Amino acid sequence: MDNFIVSARKYRPATFETVVGQQHITNTLKNAIKNNQLAQAFLFCGPRGVGKTTCARILAKTINCQNLSSQVEACGECDSCRSFLQGNSFSIHELDAASNNSVDDIRSLIEQVRIPPQTGKYKIYIIDEVHMLSQAAFNAFLKTLEEPPSYAIFILATTEKHKILPTILSRCQIFDFNRIRVEDMASHLASIAGKESVEFDNDGLHLIAQKADGGLRDALSMFDQIVSFSNRNVSYKAVIDNLNILDYDYYFRVTESLLQEDVANTLLIFDEILSNGFDGNNFINGLASHFRNLLVGKDESTLKLLEVSEGIRQKYLAQSKAASASFLLSALNIANHCDLNYKNSKNQRLQVELSLIKICHISSALTLSASPEALKKKPDSAVKTQEIPEKTNSDNQEKTSPAKEEQPYSSPDPVLAIVSEPVAEKPVPPPAEKPKITIQPLKSAPSIIPNLNDLSGSTGKVEEDTPKYVSGESREPFTSERLIEIWNAYAADIKKTGKINLFTIMTANPPTLLDDFKIELVIENRIQEELLMIEKIDLLNFLRLKLENFGVDIITRQAEQNEKKRLYTSHEKYQHMAAKNPTLEEFRKKFNLDVN
């Protein structure tokens, strides 16, 4: 127990070559060292457990190594490498910004930067979790980061790049670390298992790699846990039992029951899953992912996108051939709706069960829609739509012919029924003998679609029967007294609704009737004009209907300076009073009074 070291520390990469899944970064750093083109500041950013701090330490050790290999790797034997491995190097300093994030900590670091390195060519500062620095600490760090001494190199690491100031980002070379692929992690775990003499199977290692979600440190922690749990035998069963993961076998069984439309067995499997302590939302999300994998597996060229072991990949390939693409797309849609509504549902188990029952009946629905009987019904229904209900002019009740009572479907719109009348089944007559088309179903609505055979007579009748004030052509004359009466009535109505400012505008100056039914209203400023424009449409509609004249329009005119001006503000009232009584101004100045 005293000598036990967790795998994440014991097998931490010591050279660029041993870094897993970040070759695009390690190759760039090696070339920069080889060509002596090192920047003064690096920023390593990416998710947790992908090797940011590890690469920063390898870079710092390699820069100061006195005997670089031909592959640009640190030798591990020189004084600089040994002091770094022992943790007592005077040229490489590591600062945790999460616990040292104040201005004083950064000022102390800046003071250390001024001292040249005692051993080695460079003095390197690794600042981990740099996004935790305060705003003031960032500002204090800016100048030193932009123009450090020639021997100083800063390596910053962070998981949250968006929290770093743009002024810091612009001073660094930025390296974005990727999530480590499942295949790479599984291979690395297999190599560690071989070194530790641990039995394993590939399916179990792939499951650990998928659960780690791209972070190798998380995968190594789970690997140590399962090694202890299973007594050094990392099997697929041990992984799903220890990590509480829904087995692939559950999803394959559920999908097989859904394809066979076996509702009872599907619900029994779901009950077994709940009895094992799994959440319904976790199950429906996993089932949606399973359907997605089946869609991907329908084409052998995309089968490589499945991040699973070879045995599981072959199972997906076999089941994808039994499920149609239409079934999988419909099932994905149902599962997605269930996931969205799961948290808001009061009976969450019923929500999942209803979704499973719907998925069970997808195959029947697809078969029914594609059957020949269903396809034959569509032209028959189109032919029978020729029978159109007639409406009586007296009570507007439909009279349905016996042929229509037998038809399974009819268009609710008579016009659509006429359009849908099949033409291909009837012989086309010669152009000279073509009869005139008559439309009879629209007897009850002569004002909307008149009879096409008697268009002129029906149009004239419509024009005679329609009142002029409805059609918008009325120009009845009216007097100024009548205008003011209607005007004041509208003003009284808006006063009741609380529009006091508009009521004041309408009643301050009476409207004036001009030629061509123009109504002029005198206003005092632009504010009144804007208020009136807001109400203008409703006011015009009211006046036109009451006066039966649709030529009415309202124009405004701003009052001239010589006309009576209203006093609104306290300053205007005081100026008016001071003009009448000059001693009032002397009184105000004598006692140092304010106008307000």
User: How do residues 77-93 score in pLDDT, each as one tens digit?
Assistant: 888 888 888 888 888 88
Mean pLDDT over all residues of the chain? 78
What is the 3-state secondary structure of 42-80? EEEECCCCCCHHHHHHHHHHHHCCCCCCCCCCCCCCCHH
Q: Does domain 248-368 have CATH number 1.10.150.120?
A: no
Q: Is the pLDDT of residue 43 over 90?
A: yes
Q: How much is the pLDDT for 244?
A: 75
User: Residue 224 burial (CB < 10 Å; 0-12/13-18/19+)?
Assistant: middle
Nearest to 239 by CA among 215, 280, 209, 216: 209
| 28/25 Cα distance (integer angstroms) | 5
Per CATH, 182-242 and 480-558 having the same topology is answered: no
Q: Tell me: the pLDDT tens digits for 142-171?
A: 888 888 888 899 999 999 989 888 888 998
Sorted by where each begins, the domain ranges of the chain are 8-176, 182-242, 248-368, 388-427+437-466, 480-558
Question: How far is residue 64's CA from residue 200's CA, in Å, rounded to a whole number?
Answer: 40
- Burial track 412-444 (b if 16+ CB lie within 10 A, e otherwise): eebeebbeeeeeeeeeeeeeeeeeeeeeeebee
| CATH, range 8-176 | 3.40.50.300
pTM for this model (two decimals) = 0.54
- Which pLDDT score is estimated for 235? 86
Alpha helices (H) in 472-581, listed in sequence order: 480-496, 500-508, 526-547, 570-580
Q: Which two tokens stand for residue 459?
A: 């149009």
What pLDDT does 409 receive?
A: 40
pLDDT (tens digit, 9 = 90+) per residue, 505-548?
Answer: 888 888 888 888 888 888 887 788 888 888 888 888 888 888 88
Q: Please tell me the least confidently modeled range out of 182-196, 460-474, 501-515.
A: 460-474
92-101 pLDDT, tens digit per residue, is: 888 888 888 8
pLDDT digits (tens, 9 = 90+) for 431-444: 544 444 444 444 44
Packed helices 248-259 and 310-322: angle between N→C axes, nearest 10 degrees: 10
- Listed residue (161, 176, 202) closest to 21, CA to CA: 176
- C-alpha 381/C-alpha 300 separation (Å) is 43
Identity at 373, one-letter amino acid code: E
For residues 380-401, average pLDDT: 42
In CATH, the number for domain 182-242 is: 1.10.8.60
The domain made up of 480-558 has a fold known as GMP Synthetase; Chain A, domain 3 (3.30.300)
CA dist., res. 153 & res. 144, Å (int): 11
Q: What angle do CA 499, 505, 508 make, to 5 degrees?
A: 130
